[in-house]
Amino acid sequence: STFFKMKFRTLTILLGSLLLGRAAQGAVTFEIGADWLTANSSNNSGLPDGSVIFFVADTTNSGFSAPSLGHMSVGSLWGGSTNDVVLAEFAANGNSNFGTAGVQDTVISNLNYSNFTTTTIPTLAANVAPGDDVALFWFSSISDTNSDTLITGNAVYGYFDTLSTGSDAASWVLPNDVTTGTNFNFASSNAQIFPTGSDVARFATTIPEPSTYALIGGLCALGFTKFRRQRVKVTA
């Protein structure tokens, strides 16, 4: 009858909505192909195997913060920011994969955006979602410890994101979470695996350790004291 047909149609639409809702919470798999990660801007040697690499999302697309000192892991807020969050952490494995140190090819499987929300991370300013900018940060002098890596002071790090120079930069944006097999590529001019490359990483250094500031302050105070003593002698 018409009544039962209408009920059946309503039930079908409801089930379809539920399935779509479930799909919207699905996982996405990323393959990060970073062809040649170097230790710093003036060193063409590749990143040593075991060096820590972080995959970070900017939930407000307001620009990535510089890394802060301290322990960092998946779900940590990056650089003391309330907008940037670590989605994945892994070790450089170029030598084991391709026989060429510095070449990185890592698959991040079944990453759920719903694991990084203001509910699961109360201090996060916004939920991780499609359209968020993502970046790769790497440290040649810091080894990956999987779950809790300590970022130290005066450590050189490289990074690549949507504001970097290169043909791949604009594509470093999270896709819909029902997408699978998304690739994030970084190919430098001295590419080893990819045939061509024009991407340019940027480099910086983490802030000094607090003890370094104390040492600098002590040296300044010592210098000022010496200067005052010399000035007194000259005046006398």
pLDDT tens, residue by residue, 70-86: 999 999 999 989 999 99
Beta strands in 59-132 (DSSP E): 70-72, 84-91, 104-111
pLDDT of residue 3: 38
Three-state DSSP state, 66:
coil
- Residue 4 parent element (H or E): helix 2-24
Least confident of 103-107, 108-112, 113-117, 128-132: 103-107
Instruction: Using alpha carbons, list the distances in angstroms from residue 131 to 75, 151, 221.
Output: 19, 28, 50
pLDDT of residue 1: 54
Among residues 225, 58, 190, 210, which one has the least CA distance to residue 137? 58
pTM of the complete model: 0.79
Higher-scoring residue by pLDDT: 11, 236:
236
Q: 177 near 162, Cβ under 8 Å?
A: no
Average pLDDT over residues 11-20: 33
Write the CB contacts of 3 (distance below 8 Å, at least 6 apart in sequence): none
Q: Where are the alpha helices (DSSP H) in 46-168?
A: 94-98
* DSSP state string for 163-192: TSBSTTGGG-B---TT--SEEEEE--TT-S
Least confident of 2-11, 24-33, 156-165, 171-180: 2-11
Least confident of 93-97, 100-104, 129-133, 166-170: 93-97
C-alpha dihedral over 109, 181, 34, 111, to 10 degrees? -30
pLDDT band at residue 236, thresholds of 50, 70 and 90?
low
Average pLDDT over residues 178-195: 81
How many Å apart are CA 135 and CA 208, to the nearest integer?
A: 23
Among residues 25, 23, 28, 34, which one has the least CA distance to residue 108? 28
pLDDT band at residue 12, thresholds of 50, 70 and 90?
very low
Among 14-18, 45-49, 202-206, the range of highest mean pLDDT: 202-206
pLDDT band at residue 97, thresholds of 50, 70 and 90?
low
Cα 6–Cα 12–Cα 16 angle in degrees, nearest 5: 145
